[in-house]
Structure 1
Amino acid sequence: MSDFYFSNGLFGELDRLQRQMSTLFGNLPSSIRSSRTDAFPPLNIGSTDDSIDVVAFAPGIDPAALEVTVDKGTLTIAGERKAPELASGNETRSYASERFFGTFRRVIELPQNADPDKVEAAYSNGCLTVRIGKREASKPRAITVQ
């Protein structure tokens, strides 16, 4: 039997400590993994042997209004999500809104093995998928032992 006892309160205390530390340091993210939880669009970033894949979850956006650029080792995704037009005569007043509307810009630092000449972007079902190829020299390869 262990001499240590952890109640459920420990995790609550750790959460509280993390929030206090974030407030103390001004909520400055140190990487994509620790960026603001309310950043739009939310991103998933992964890689394969051949590419770095970025998926931006951006439903309700016209693909023609999205701007994707790669420059100096960074990928930038920018655009605008317009608020829906209300029917004339609609007297609804909003008191809470969780859906983001307006212009946005996300900048992601790419790894050194990303090849800016091999970039493809596609928008489907509310998801923007950007695939950045890797440089040939950085891809894994088998070495024959003689």
Structure 2
Amino acid sequence: MYRSLFPRDMFAELDRLQRDLQQAFDLSPSIRGFGRSSYPALNIGGTPQTVEVYAFAPGIDPKSLDVNLERGLLTIAGERKTELPEAGSQSTLHINERFSGSFRRVLTVPDDADPDAVNASFKDGLVHITIQRRASAQPRRITIQ
């Protein structure tokens, strides 16, 4: 959608303000997902051997990420720094659609997840967390005698 930096239509500007307010209060989803409370976006799946979590966090320094697994809760927390001009500078900001600031996502993992067998990697803004399932929960073939 084309958006003018200097709107001339008062109704279009009111519509934009209404959408900005709805997004600020997380009242409705948008094409980019839900509001700031659900950053980073997640894909969660698994295999019979593992639980796989993918967190999409572009622009994040991997050193600022904190991933914890405690009592069945997986926590992904961090902070995205802003690169906006400072308040006293000569620059003017017209549109700011990128989230910056602290974030935290908490997920419940299955009971068969092994908290001692967790791996996390970061590449190109994607955090990949693999949690192994306990051996006792693995499917196995039982021979009939």
TM-score between both structures, scaled by the size of structure 2: 0.70
Q: Work out the CA distance in 1 between the residues paired with 2:62 and 2:93.
A: 30
Change (3 A) 1:90 1:59: farther
Consecutive unaligned residues of structure 2, counting only runs of 5 or more, are 1-25, 28-32
Task: Name the counterpart of 2:4.
Answer: none
Q: Which residue of 2 aligns with 1:107?
A: 106
What TM-score does the superposition give when structure 1 sets the normalisation length?
A: 0.70
Cα drift, residue 90 of structure 1: 5.0
Which residue of the partner structure matches residue 91 of structure 2? 91
Structure 1: which 4+ aligned runs deviate by more than 3 Å? 85-90
d(CA) in 2 for partners of 1:86 and 1:41? 24
User: Helix, strand or coil for the counterpart of 1:141?
Assistant: coil
Give unmatched runs, 5+ long, in structure 1. Answer: 1-25, 28-35
Counterpart amino acid of 1:93? Answer: L
The match for 1:137 is 136
- Please tell me whether residue 37 in structure 1 is matched to residue 34 in structure 2: yes
Structure 1: distance between partners of 2:40 and 2:47: 22
Share of identical aligned residues, percent?
45
Q: CA RMSD in A?
A: 2.2
How far did residue 97 of structure 1 move? 2.8
Q: May I ask how many residue pairs the two structures share in their alignment?
A: 112
Measure the CA separation in 2 of the matches of 1:90 and 1:142. 70
Q: State whether residues 72 and 109 of structure 2, in contact with CA within 8 Å, keep that contact through their aligned partners in structure 1.
A: yes
1:77 is aligned to 2:65: no
User: Is structure 2 residue 124 aligned with structure 1 residue 116?
Assistant: no
* Equivalent position of 1:31 in the other structure: none
User: Kindly tell me: are residues 119 and 102 of structure 1, through their superposed partners in 2, closer, same or farther at Cα, counting changes over 3 Å?
Assistant: same
Letter in 2 for 1:105: R
Quick one: which amino acid aligns to residue 140 of structure 2? R
